Amino acid sequence: MSAEYGADQIQILEGLEAVRKRPGMYIGSTSARGLHHLVYEIVDNSVDEALAGYCTEIDVQINSDNSITVIDNGRGIPVGIQKKAGLPAVEVVFTVLHAGGKFGGGGYKVSGGLHGVGASVVNALSEWLEVTIYTEGKVYHQRYERGKVVSELEIIGECPAEKHGTKVVFMPDKEIFEETVYDYETLRIRLQETAFLTKALKIILRDDREEKIEKTFHYEGGIQEFVTYLNKGKAPLYENVIYCEGTRENVYVEVAMQHNDAYTENIYTFVNNINTPEGGTHLTGFRNALTKTFNDYAKKNKLLKDSDPALSGEDIREGLTAIISVKIEEPQFEGQTKQKLGNSEARVAVDSVVSEQLTYFLEQNPAVAKAMCEKSILAQRARAAARKARELTRRKTALEGMALPGKLADCSNKDPEKCEIYIVEGDSAGGSAKTARVRDTQAILPLRGKILNVEKARLDKIYANAEIKAMITAFGTGIHEDFDISKLRYHKIIIMTDADVDGAHISTLLLTFLYRFMPELIKQGHVYLAQPPLYKIEKNKRIWYAYNDAELNQILSDIGRDNSNKIQRYKGLGEMDPEQLWETTMDPERRILLRVNMDEDVTSELDLTFTILMGDQVEPRREFIELNARKVQNLDI
């Protein structure tokens, strides 16, 4: 750095030092989640420029060295000297904490939760960062290392007069992040979501590492196309995606919705393009409007008799896919994780826009209204039947005490923190597991055959399903409005299936059930996947286990490939004797478990991620297991 440090510069350095000292305070975590947040922080600046009407394309690239490049065709970060700091504005953006990229004010600020902490935080947490600006025929450039200026802003060349935009390249600092390898899918889901939410903005994502990938996300239809995308693979109940749009009290509201013939409710809410997984006032406004408008229409048009009970919100929302997106000048975020919108004007605005435009839509489209109404009435009946069944079990348990399922081999320890339950595919593997287990702390629940897909069944059928009933009673927590996590009987729920396609499918169905009916169990980290091995290698009375082909090859080249190896490929858990099952998959000292996590940054695609927990074996298997876990993640629901 050339100039001497003035008071301003010292303050700047102290600011960014604070970010490096306590990175978690600024980007939430230094795990993979924080690593990906760096990209969103930078891209959000370009999205703001698009929302302001000056940028139509954003290119994001994962480079071969795991650095990230973001390029937009906006006006370019201003390069002129900013009076207050006496520095080029771009330098202020990257070195002053909370300076943000907002010049001239106005518009909708992206500032919720961890978002909008700004480019300076990314800079502070990068080994190096380079910014290039194209404006008025000139190319400007500046480089920083760990937040510090290492080259002054300078003109490095010329460009066509009409070219304009900003390019940022940064390398996440390995001193800060535990994980520095970017995951393509994680970025893909989030960037595609951003493209859906920002009508007509084109986002290109490239991966320049091993297998080159390039995808373009560009949706003229905006959130209407988002709904179509989410309903893909399901049968829509009617052709139209209903769309409402309008501004009330300075809140810009957009809603898109369509029912499908399934039974789950998929509503995703956003404020200034940031998702709000805990909902808030915009969601409340939508629900009120939908319930009231629909009941009014149904009564008025005699789809419901005056003597019929009103349809509940839940009945109307059965099988509904919807996106609610509001833009608001000063969003207030509430709740434990600051992911819930609090502004009351958002409730009023969404309620008003949806009530007005949905009333009009229903009147114009009586066939659609009729289809919706018929589905809601069926939902209402199923719900009543399910309620009756639940009350019956509740009364029964009150009389007879909680009867545990017959197939459950329970553990004897009564301290839930020490207890775990293995949900095992098939009776024969269940038998081995029962023999292998530590009776004191490990319970075994064998499940037979395919598990009911809860996405494709109505509540009454779900509650009547034997396997699902067995799980609910074994866990002890109850379900729905009865759910009480303090009653959980095992702090580890371990899904153990064959290491093949069928096994992966069963895991998927079980995870779907847990995600839909007891998401708290996943959120609080109680759900795990066991990792059985694929091969057993035996030589001179010594035994090795391999969890994939690469590992098998490694072991074979370590011990020498010759005919004296006897290699056994496990086709399923059932092929292992109890002792082998214990050694490889159930012994807490030696087993590997994947803990299932929910990615809260993206909600529109069921995104489960995994943390690896091991016994005393460490590093070498890590990489494979991560890859493997990613595959389980593509839940085909």
Which residues form the interface with ligand TTJ (CB under 6 A)?
42, 45-46, 49, 70, 72, 74-75, 77-78, 93, 101, 103-104, 119, 166, 168
- Closest CB 18 distance from ligand TTJ, rounded Å: 20
Q: Which residue out of 502, 538, 549, 623 is catalytically annotated? A: 502
Residues 519 and 485: beta-carbon distance below 8 Å: no
- Closest CB 412 distance from ligand TTJ, rounded Å: 59
Separation of alpha carbons 203 and 187, rounded Å: 12
- Closest CB 77 distance from ligand TTJ, rounded Å: 4
> Pick from 424, 441, 421, 439: which is nearest to 488 by CA?
421
72 versus 583: smaller Cβ distance to ligand TTJ: 72
Q: Report angle CA 558, 564, 567 to the nearest 5 degrees.
A: 75
Q: How far is CA 312 from CA 303, 359, 382, 593, 628, in A?
A: 15, 17, 12, 42, 42
Q: Which residue out of 500, 579, 587, 623 is catalytically annotated? A: 500
> Pick from 326, 197, 238, 160: which is nearest to 602 by CA?
197
103 versus 229: smaller Cβ distance to ligand TTJ: 103
44 has catalytic annotation: no
Q: Which residues pair with 529 in a beta bridge?
A: 495, 594
- Closest CB 76 distance from ligand TTJ, rounded Å: 6
Q: Which residue out of 498, 551, 601, 607 is catalytically annotated? A: 498
167 versus 292: smaller Cβ distance to ligand TTJ: 167
Instruction: Convert 402-412 to b/e letters by CB count within 10 Å (16 or more is b).
Output: eeeeebbbbbe
117 versus 506: smaller Cβ distance to ligand TTJ: 117
48 has catalytic annotation: no
104 versus 620: smaller Cβ distance to ligand TTJ: 104
- Closest CB 101 distance from ligand TTJ, rounded Å: 5
Q: How far is CA 368 from CA 73, 123, 153, 245, 361, in A?
A: 42, 52, 60, 19, 9
34 versus 279: smaller Cβ distance to ligand TTJ: 34
400 has catalytic annotation: no
Q: Which residue out of 315, 351, 425, 583 is catalytically annotated? A: 425
502 has catalytic annotation: yes
- Closest CB 203 distance from ligand TTJ, rounded Å: 12
C-alpha 259: how far from its chain's center? 22
- Closest CB 53 distance from ligand TTJ, rounded Å: 11
78 versus 246: smaller Cβ distance to ligand TTJ: 78
Strand order in the sheet with 57-62: 148-158, 138-145, 126-135, 165-172, 68-72, 57-62, 202-207, 213-218
User: Which tokens go with 4?
Assistant: 């001497």
Residue 58 has, within 13 A of its CA and on its CB side, a CA count of 28
Give the SS3 label for residue 405: coil
- Closest CB 78 distance from ligand TTJ, rounded Å: 5
Q: Which residues, other chains included, contact 141 with Cβ-Cβ below 8 Å and sequence gap of 6+?
A: 130, 131, 132, 133, 151, 153, 154, 155, 156
93 versus 303: smaller Cβ distance to ligand TTJ: 93
Cβ burial, residue 579 (10 Å; 0-12/13-18/19+): exposed
200: left (phi over 0), alpha (psi -120 to 50) or beta: left
Cβ burial, residue 329 (10 Å; 0-12/13-18/19+): middle
Phi then psi for 148, rounded to 5 degrees? -95, 140
Separation of alpha carbons 117 and 313, rounded Å: 37
User: Which tokens go with 164?
Assistant: 């304009």
Catalytic residue ranges = 425, 498, 500, 502
